[in-house]
Amino acid sequence: MARQGKSAKDRAHHAAVAKLPCLVCGEWPVDVHHVVGWADRMGRAPKRKGWPMGDMGDIFNEMKAYTRERKRANLAAADPDGWLQHTPYHWSRQLLGSKLDYWPSRHKWQWRGKVCTGDVLKFIAAREKKDG
């Protein structure tokens, strides 16, 4: 199916929005200047020299570093006893006749089709006490 052009209603709406200042900082004319770190990482940001990035790139880099360190610490603290390790990041075991998948670096697990996060050992103890 051929792609149709924008309707008159769409063009009018885009023209009206283009006249508005940035909702975050009030700058005008508006371009995508507050999401540059994300957009650039996804390959969607224009590659103009001198395009103001602000501190968004630093914020995203700090967020990535924090997440990487948190996952590393979670994985280092996880106890592999009683788990079948498919990879360093994906473990599993049987719980009450059903497979329990566990991703220790994210404190995430899946059991009987439900995905949860938190302390998997407390979950196992509670389920075994309740159903065992």
> Is 68:78 a contact under the CB 8 Å cutoff?
no
Top pLDDT among 81 and 15 is at 81
Which tokens belong to 52?
């103001």
Least confident of 10-14, 52-56, 95-99: 52-56
The 8-class DSSP code of residue 45 comes to S
Rg of the chain over CA atoms, in angstroms?
24
Q: What pLDDT shows up at residue 89?
A: 94
CA distance 55 to 35: 10
pTM value > 0.75: no
The per-residue b/e assignment along 48-74, b for 16 or more CB within 10 angstroms, e otherwise, is eeeeeeeebeeebeeeeeeeeeebeee
Give 27-70 pLDDT, tens digit per residue: 666 665 555 555 555 555 555 555 555 667 777 888 889 999 99
CA distance 4 to 100: 49
Top pLDDT among 99 and 47 is at 99
Distance from the Cα of residue 7 to its chain's centroid: 35
